[in-house]
Amino acid sequence: MASIKNLKKDINYVLGDIIEECYTWELLNPKADTKASEAIIEEAIEAFDSMIDMVHKKDVENKKAHFKSVEKELHAKADALIEKVNKL
Tell me if the pTM is above 0.85: yes
Q: Which residue has the higher pLDDT, 2 or 53?
A: 53
Instruction: Check residue 11 and give its pLDDT.
Output: 95
Note whether 77 and 14 are within 8 A (CB). Answer: no
Structurally, the chain folds into a number of domains equal to: 1
CA distance 39 to 84: 10
Q: What is the pLDDT of residues 7-24, one digit of tens each?
A: 999 999 999 999 999 999
2 pLDDT higher than 80: no
Q: What is the pLDDT of residues 49-80, one digit of tens each?
A: 999 999 998 888 888 888 999 999 999 999 99
**Domain residues for 27?**
4-86
